[in-house]
Amino acid sequence: MSHFRDARLVEDLELLVGSRARGKSRAAVRIEDIEALLQVPRNLRSKKAAGATVDPAEFNALVDDLTALYDIMRSLADALQGRVRP
């Protein structure tokens, strides 16, 4: 391999791992960092309101769905922040 190609491979690797200056935002995302996405339910518990007003069960199902999605997003944000700002 040529010296130029070796240097290019080293640069690419440093970018992937985020070890270059200002390279953290361009680093590759590891599967373990986004595993929370695997916990996203296939179906939501909440449904469209049946009538003109929302009953307590419909409201609670919506809150449960939003809470679950928020928890997943928070988990993703925490994992990524740990990589970007250790």
Q: Rounded to whole angstroms, what are the CA distances from 42 to 1, 45, 47, 72?
A: 48, 10, 14, 14
**pLDDT tens profile 33-55:** 788 888 888 888 988 887 888 88
Which 8-state DSSP code applies to residue 37?
A: G
The DSSP call for residue 25 is: G
Question: Binning pLDDT at 50, 70 and 90, where does residue 1 land?
Answer: low
Rounded to two decimals, the pTM is 0.64
Task: Give residue limits of the domains in the chain.
Answer: 3-84
Q: How far apart are CA 74 and CA 57, in angstroms?
A: 25
For the chain, the first-to-last Cα distance in angstroms comes to 35
Mean pLDDT of the chain, nearest integer: 82
